């Protein structure tokens, strides 16, 4: 594993003058280390160009000078409202060099949503950061050292997807980012020739973590501005990618488009929500290795991830994933998933010392975690609890079903009636569309009677989802 190369990580403990009894944990800046150890190695590869680590570090340092001249400083909030690509990465690394807290902005937000997000920012980067100018010593304003990261300092201010409520701010530290990268590397490996494809929004942790982890590993991040089916398919079939992060809907589209045995691809990291067993079986049949992952912004992305070593088996596809080596997971009495460890955002920890995820799950005897759904989305029908994600998984196992969304509808008899919206596949082996009664019968073969949808409607439109692929269940009704 190459997470400690090039060179050895240097950790310094520095007593702060104001609080001599407290210690600040400082580590070498990972971009500077990567540039020193692998200056000619590709750091970023995009459709518009490629930067080596030497180039990325030099340009990010120049951009940091200019941002400081505009008012950016250590601890300042800097919004980045740029498309995914080289310019975004330059602005990100420039802020991390300064020690400013990055606030990534989803460009698809409405003007009012964007204004609300940026209201507390000290500076907004809305165009490519300038990297030209005079002598570096002249341009620099703060004189603050840029060679180290304080692991307790805030690095990112992310905003959750808001599938069941309004987005909230999550402050992640340099320590959270470093431990998350280490935990991911232990699970998935970090070969020196890694080329990790990012097609997810950089305003969400699943996408942004790829840029950060690649810098920590000194490997290559391949960044597309958005998911474009033909471009991603070409990159995978062309052998340009060793690892890619996807959600169930994007993997489904790639398989539908003919993705099969992509050369060089060692793993699809699949997360963002529940994944049907039929999709996993289909991916295996197509020679596409899939590692399931469960995570959330408050835990700096991954909490539990199937190790790469487990992808070579030939037995039945197993659901769930083991927690990262640095994450501890427990299940509360009400089945809520609880997480603690160095990847958890400090402000997200409750008084009992745990991150209360709001997700429901169960742990197998060997510690593998299975996610059952959101606690807030639990349907109470006739006094029984129904997890929508479980019903969706069963519906999506039907060969006619492309995707399904399950939700509760107020009902005088049941309190809430289990209801579903189903999108059927356009091409099927068997003639004629599946009937609603056929779908209910399919559910009845697997689910308890109270979990079988009492109402099923068919939709010709895709189900509403966030940009990171999570189902917006609140919009189904």
What gap in Å lies between CA 146 and CA 419, rounded to an integer? Answer: 55
Quick one: which of 188, 191, 183, 179 has its CA closest to 217?
191
Q: Hey, what are 291's tokens? A: 């590692």
CATH number for the domain that contains residue 302:
3.40.50.12780
Peptide bond into 125 cis (omega under 30): no
For the segment 193-220, what is each residue's pLDDT rounded down to a tens digit?
999 999 998 998 999 999 999 999 999 9
What pLDDT sits at residue 114? 82
**How many independent structural domains does the chain possess?**
2
Task: Tell whether 429 and 280 lie within a shared domain.
Answer: no
For the segment 147-166, what is each residue's pLDDT rounded down to a tens digit?
799 999 999 999 875 544 45
| Greater model confidence, 429 or 34 | 34
What pLDDT sits at residue 20? 34
Quick one: which of 430, 393, 391, 396 has its CA closest to 407?
391
412 found inside a domain: yes
What mean pLDDT do residues 114-142 have? 67
What pLDDT sits at residue 167? 66
For the segment 259-268, what is each residue's pLDDT rounded down to a tens digit?
999 999 999 9
Coil, helix or strand at residue 339: strand
Among residues 373, 394, 425, which one ends one of the domains? 373
Instruction: Give yes or no for residue 417 having a pLDDT over 80.
Output: yes
Mean pLDDT, the chain, whole residue set: 86
Task: Tell whether 434 and 321 lie within a shared domain.
Answer: no
Task: Tell whether 310 and 328 lie within a shared domain.
Answer: yes
Task: Tell whether 169 and 306 lie within a shared domain.
Answer: yes
176 found inside a domain: yes
| Greater model confidence, 141 or 109 | 109
What gap in Å lies between CA 390 and CA 467, rounded to an integer? Answer: 22
What pLDDT sits at residue 10? 35
What gap in Å lies between CA 262 and CA 259, rounded to an integer? Answer: 7
Task: Tell whether 284 and 413 lie within a shared domain.
Answer: no
Instruction: Give yes or no for residue 429 having a pLDDT over 90.
Output: no
Least confident of 88-92, 237-241, 457-461: 457-461
CATH number for the domain that contains residue 383:
3.30.300.30
Provide the edge-to-edge strand list for the sheet that holds 415-424. 401-411, 415-424, 455-459
- Are 288 and 263 contacting, i.e. CB atoms less than 8 angstroms apart? no
Which residues span the domain enclosing 178? 11-373
Among residues 350, 373, 396, which one ends one of the domains? 373
First-residue to last-residue Cα distance in the chain? 48
């Amino acid at each position: 594993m190459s997470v400690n190369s090039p060179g050895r990580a240097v950790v310094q403990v520095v007593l702060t003058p104001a609080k001599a009894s407290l210690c600040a944990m400082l580590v070498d800046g990972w971009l500077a280390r990567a540039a020193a150890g692998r200056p000619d190695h590709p750091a970023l590869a995009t459709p518009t160009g490629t930067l080596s680590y030497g180039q990325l570090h030099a340009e990010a340092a120049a951009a940091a000078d200019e941002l400081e001249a505009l008012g950016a400083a250590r601890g300042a909030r800097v919004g980045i409202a740029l498309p995914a690509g080289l310019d975004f990465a330059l602005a990100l690394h420039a802020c991390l060099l300064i020690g400013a807290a990055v606030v990534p902005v989803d460009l698809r937000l409405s003007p009012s949503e964007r204004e609300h997000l940026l209201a507390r920012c000290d500076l907004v980067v809305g165009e490519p950061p300038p990297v030209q100018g005079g002598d570096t010593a002249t341009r620099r304003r703060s004189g603050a050292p840029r060679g180290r990261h304080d692991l307790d300092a805030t690095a990112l201010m992310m905003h959750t997807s808001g599938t069941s409520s309004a987005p909230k701010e999550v402050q992640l530290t340099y320590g959270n980012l470093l431990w998350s990268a280490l935990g991911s590397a232990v699970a998935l490996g970090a070969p020196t020739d890694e080329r990790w494809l990012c097609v997810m929004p950089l305003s969400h942790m699943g996408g942004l973590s790829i840029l950060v982890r690649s810098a920590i590993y000194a490997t290559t991040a391949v960044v597309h501005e958005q998911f474009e089916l033909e471009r991603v398919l070409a990159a995978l079939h062309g052998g340009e990618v060793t690892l890619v992060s996807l959600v169930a809907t994007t993997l489904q589209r790639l398989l539908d488009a003919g993705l099969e045995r992509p050369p060089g691809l060692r793993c699809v990291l699949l997360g963002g929500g529940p994944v049907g067993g039929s999709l996993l079986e289909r991916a295996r049949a197509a020679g596409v290795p899939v590692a399931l992952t469960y995570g959330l912004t408050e835990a700096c992305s991954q909490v539990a991830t199937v190790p790469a070593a487990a992808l070579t088996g030939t037995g039945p596809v197993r659901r769930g994933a083991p927690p990262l080596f640095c994450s501890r997971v427990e299940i509360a009495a009400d089945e809520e998933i609880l997480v603690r460890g160095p990847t958890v955002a400090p402000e997200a920890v409750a008084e009992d010392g745990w991150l209360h995820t709001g997700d429901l799950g169960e742990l197998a005897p060997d510690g593998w975690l299975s996610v059952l759904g959101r606690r807030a989305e639990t349907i109470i029908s006739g006094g029984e609890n129904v997890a929508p994600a479980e019903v969706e998984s069963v519906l999506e196992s039907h060969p006619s079903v492309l995707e399904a969304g399950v939700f509760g509808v107020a009902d005088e008899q049941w309190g809430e009636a289990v209801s579903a919206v189903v999108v059927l596949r356009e091409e099927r082996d068997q003639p004629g569309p599946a009937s609603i009664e056929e779908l209910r019968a399919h559910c009845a073969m697997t689910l308890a009677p109270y979990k079988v949808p009492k109402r099923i409607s068919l939709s010709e439109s895709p189900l509403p989802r966030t940009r990171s692929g999570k189902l917006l269940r609140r919009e189904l009704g």
